[in-house]
A and B are shown apart, each in its own frame.
Chain A
């Protein structure tokens, strides 16, 4: 439907770039276009009728009538739900439970209605604009589209909308709506033990959740602790894999090394094996009591007692970084080898003529070029590691236990903390507040990264 109005509009724009010529001075206030616009404002489709576009007009009228008749009451009810989140709690009379309002369902329902309402408003605006523009056009002597032309127009200019409809539908309901809901939850008190529907109601509380997160001691201690480890983890995880990858790319790029393909195929294995499988394997290898690693170390006499790879907070963090190196370096190695083989050989030859040593060639030519072309990926990799749920959760489940933290273990990063808050402890409001903060961090990195890349500039020029 929306494409319908817009297409005829866009055609007007295309056909006539100078839509608003200087108006003659003594014209009545109510010009034809204004009349059409006013009529459309009064009721959708009236302006179209006035412009003698009967099919379009009747479709619009029918649409608004349908919405008014069938959806006014549900809409009012949904808005009541969205603003109050329900008023009657669940009651118990004798052995019977009388259901009250379910705040969370009310919230989602209200959100759905609200989004649909915004879409409708936007469409209403397009309808007014369409009436105005068509009237302007007909004043200039261009006949408005008749029904047949309109349909043809829809097929031709509406094709992108046709293509986009399924994606928009999916994104709206499975990504946007859940995200909006997630954001809104941060401003409610939806949490265990006192505000879990259907037993209790949930209320809007404004920024209280954020205040709690930063000022209540148990929450703020956990937040700052987990947050700082998340940052350290993201930096270490990215830097170690990046430089290890660089080292191996350089080694395999040496002329003297033989069987390059053989080494490369072996080193690529950690990347190729499904990650969750290898994390679970690693979890067993590093198992403190029964794992083979400790057994070898003790048999070789390197340590007398077992090393608490996963059960000591510091060791657990070290183990995570080591294991992550195993996973992460092949990607960088492959990427950087690719960059190195693409470097123009003439540059090296020119450097040799000038008497550069191979060390100088590496520092002055290879390294800068490799760094330059992999930097955006390194930044994105930082963002990925910031939210690397799988390795943390599958390896340690956030453990070992940290008694100073609320619902988090020593190796928990923000994202795994959120997971625990939501699924195991029903602290939905705190979880949602933390994910908003994660979003801010990731957004800063992504936008900064994105602005540097060519894609953005091109995009600017194109539209």
Chain B
């Protein structure tokens, strides 16, 4: 009896040790970048996790001397409009595929499935030339259009799967009462599908904050850059002498996005699960 208890105790100790070590591993980079942003000095080498003194100089420098605020504004703008446009496109397409039977439906679904298997890169050259022709290169709207176009195949499949799971009885009742397609869509479908709508909106809002490839392809001038491109160039550009400035910039990006994530955590998990099940 005694040994059983002891065994349990030891097991518990081991588990707690693992948990504590992991906590350190997880938190270390986070704390390091926060204190790093308040370290005196510029370089990576002189940065200490427990600095001798704290300073907000780097934040001030970031706002006054670099285009950081501009990048932030650009990213917010792109993220917001991409969210609006993508959500509208995805939801309308998904609704059509889920609730109507029309010639071309199956082919359309198959086409979307195949399309999302291609690496987005493949179209890069063509997108570049198209935007060049349309005079949308180095233009935020060009980038928003590219993002929105790319979000349709995956998103529409996901939302269609969700719509398929909603009961049709309500709509049919509304149809008998003489409600129009538009009304059914707004009054019945939209409220019922709030979770998946939130998921689509959030992922499309966060997307532009993360994307590096297309942002770098489309946006050319410094005042048009997004945060991902700007910060990357800050770390790689001038040989790590701007590390602390980068740290400050990184903190200011990470905090709002992380908070956003925690608020919508459940939606994101659910959405990803649904995405996996529906292909």
Contacts and interface: CB of A to CB of B under 8 A. Distances in A.
Interface of A: 6, 9-10, 104-105, 108, 157, 159-161, 163-164, 166-168, 170-171, 173-179, 181-183, 185, 248, 251, 254, 256-257, 263, 265-278, 280-285, 287, 289-292, 326, 331, 334-335, 338, 376-377, 380, 387, 389-390, 393-394, 397, 415, 418-419, 422-423, 428, 432, 435-436, 438-439, 442-443, 446, 449-450, 453-456, 458-459, 463
Contact of A183 (B96, B117, B122, B210): B122
Nearest to B216: A423
Contacts of B8: 256
Contacts of A436: 122
A326 B250 CA distance: 18
A282 B112 CA distance: 36
Nearest to B260: A272
B74 interface: no
Given A248-B22, A418-B121, A439-B118, A393 B33 contact: no
B102 A10 contact: yes
B29 interface: yes
A397 B232 CA distance: 11
B54 interface: no
A274 B29 CA distance: 13
A376 B277 contact: yes
8 contacts: A10-B103, A160-B97, A160-B105, A174-B146, A176-B115, A182-B123, A284-B246, A326-B25
Contacts of A423: 124, 217
A450 B112 CA distance: 13
A248 B273 CA distance: 19
A266 B29 contact: no
A324 to B, nearest CB: 14
Nearest to B16: A257
Given A6-B104, A10-B102, A443-B114, 8 more contacts: A161-B96, A173-B149, A257-B16, A275-B210, A285-B29, A377-B276, A389-B212, A442-B117
Q: Which 3 A-B pairs have the closest CB atoms?
A: A178-B123, A174-B149, A178-B126
B126 A177 contact: yes
Contact of A105 (B88, B113, B129): B129
B49 interface: yes
Question: Which interface residue of A254, A277, A387 has the most chain B CB atoms within 10 A?
Answer: A277
Contact of A257 (B15, B117, B150, B240): B15
A254 B15 contact: yes
B103 A422 contact: no
A108 B121 contact: no
Contact of A287 (B96, B122, B240): B240
Interface string B244-279: 001000100110011001100100010011001111
Contacts of A397: 236
Nearest to A337: B269
B100 interface: yes
Contacts of A335: 269, 272-273
Given A277-B250, A290-B240, A453-B278, A179 B123 contact: yes
B250 A280 contact: yes
B26 A270 contact: yes
Interface string B7-25: 0100010011011001101
A449 B116 CA distance: 14
A450 B117 CA distance: 12
A161 B122 contact: no
Interface in B171-198: 181
Contacts of A450: 113, 279
B70 interface: no
A397 B16 CA distance: 37
Contact of A160 (B102, B113, B118, B240): B102
Interface of B: 8, 12, 15-16, 18-19, 22-23, 25-27, 29-30, 32-33, 43-45, 47, 49, 88-90, 92-93, 95-97, 99-106, 108-109, 111-119, 121-127, 129-130, 133, 145-146, 148-150, 152-153, 156, 161, 164, 181, 206, 209-210, 212-213, 217, 228, 231-232, 235-236, 240, 243, 246, 250, 253-254, 257-258, 261-262, 265, 269, 272-273, 276-279
A419 B121 contact: yes
A435 B122 contact: yes
Contacts of A276: 209-210, 212, 228, 231-232
Contacts of B164: 458
Contacts of B16: 257
A269 B104 CA distance: 44
B152 A170 contact: yes
Nearest to B89: A167
B149 A273 contact: no
Contacts of B130: 108, 173-174, 177-178
Contacts of A277: 231, 250, 253-254
Contact of A281 (B49, B250, B261): B250
Contact of A439 (B18, B122, B181, B246): B122
B106 A171 contact: no
Nearest to B106: A463
Contacts of A439: 117-119, 122
B210 A390 contact: yes
A450 B150 CA distance: 20
A168 to B, nearest CB: 8
Contacts of A459: 109
Contact of B103 (A6, A177, A178, A181): A6
Contact of B117 (A390, A443, A453): A443
A387 B45 contact: no
B33 A455 contact: no
A267 B26 contact: yes
A161 B152 CA distance: 16
Contacts of B273: 335, 338, 377
A42 B140 CA distance: 48
Contacts of A418: 119, 121
A174 B122 CA distance: 11
A331 B104 CA distance: 37
B217 A179 contact: no
Question: Which interface residue of B88, B95, B254 has the most chain A CB atoms within 10 A?
Answer: B254
B122 A160 contact: no
A176 B123 CA distance: 8
Contacts of B148: 170, 174
B121 A422 contact: yes
B129 A449 contact: no
